[in-house]
Amino acid sequence: MIRTGDIRKLSDFRQNATAHLDRLAETGGVEVLTVNGEAKGVVMSPKVYDELAEKAAMFDNLMAIERSLDDIRAGRVQDAREAMRSIAAEAGIRLPR
């Protein structure tokens, strides 16, 4: 969650970048950088970024599982052996029996 204390002017960030980065590293926080009151960027600690990236990857995996379950429920499935034979035939590859 972004709090009003996490909103900073870009000009202030430029002048005090080390202090901002130290604070982010210490708190694990996020800062929204503004120009003329409009959000123009977000700065976060590496820890926060890693956590966010991990959550995004987990969400992508969950969505892939959900799509797979939808395919199963809709009957869009094929036996693995049949699928391998079909792929091999399309590629002109002979599989051992």
Q: What pLDDT is recorded for position 12? A: 95
Average pLDDT rounded to a whole number, residues 4-31? 92
pLDDT in tens, 26-82: 988 899 999 999 999 999 999 999 999 999 999 999 999 999 999 999 999 999 999
Residue 26 lies inside a defined structural domain of this protein: yes
CATH number at residue 27: 3.40.1620
Identify whether residues 83 and 69 lie together within a single domain: yes
What are the C-alpha distances in Å from 97 to residues 81, 89, 90, 92, 94? 11, 13, 17, 15, 9
Indicate the number of domains in the chain: 2
Give the Cα separation of 14 and 28 in Å (integer): 20
Locate 20 and state its tokens.
Answer: 């901002």
Structural domain containing residue 8: 4-44
Are residues 79 and 85 in contact, defined by beta-carbon separation less than 8 angstroms? no
Locate 65 and state its tokens.
Answer: 């599982």
Identify whether residues 33 and 56 lie together within a single domain: no
Q: What pLDDT is recorded for position 96? A: 86
Of the pLDDT bands very low, low, confident and very high (cuts 50, 70, 90), residue 1 is: low
The one-letter amino acid code at 32 reads V
Of the pLDDT bands very low, low, confident and very high (cuts 50, 70, 90), residue 97 is: confident
